[in-house]
Amino acid sequence: MSFTLPQIEEIFDKNNFAVLVRDLKRLGVLSYEYNLQIGEYTFYGADGHQEVMKSNGLELVPVEKTDTVAIQQVVKKFQNHDLAFSEMAKELASLGIFSWETNLEKLSVEFFNHKGEVAYREVFASVFD
């Protein structure tokens, strides 16, 4: 079963990350990527299925130099609800993040620099404890 963009949009703005992950997995989403430069999500499913969702219109220009320690601190602030999504995205861009991919099978998020290299990886399996 392939998921549709309206199905994703219906569940994507949930405040509870664990519920969001569970519901996306039920739809058949395997992973999703957010691109800071164009401000959009791409959702990936089985057999190469993809859906693209424009986000809140953020189109940021990330810097080239990354700061892994500061990236980790920004991610923690966001997880603790101390930063809104737009604030987090702006801070990550200022720290050299161009995109990130949330892998729903590995329960992790990888944050990528301008070379496409993983600058920071966060495992979120604990959200289901």
pTM: 0.87
pLDDT at 103: 94
Q: How far, in Å, CA of 8 to CA of 20, rounded?
A: 10
User: What residues are paired with 43 via a beta bridge?
Assistant: 32, 51
- What Å distances lie between residue 106 and 25, 44, 86, 127, CA to CA? 12, 14, 25, 13
Tens digits of residue pLDDT in 70-127: 999 999 898 888 988 889 989 999 999 999 999 999 999 999 998 999 999 998 865 5
CATH code, domain with 33: 3.30.1810.10
pLDDT at 61: 79
How many domains does the structure of the chain reveal? Answer: 1
Handedness of CA 109, 115, 116, 117 (dihedral sign): negative
The secondary structure of residue 46, as a DSSP letter, is G
Tens digits of residue pLDDT in 19-67: 888 899 999 999 999 998 888 999 999 989 999 998 766 777 788 888 8
Domain limits for position 50: 5-128
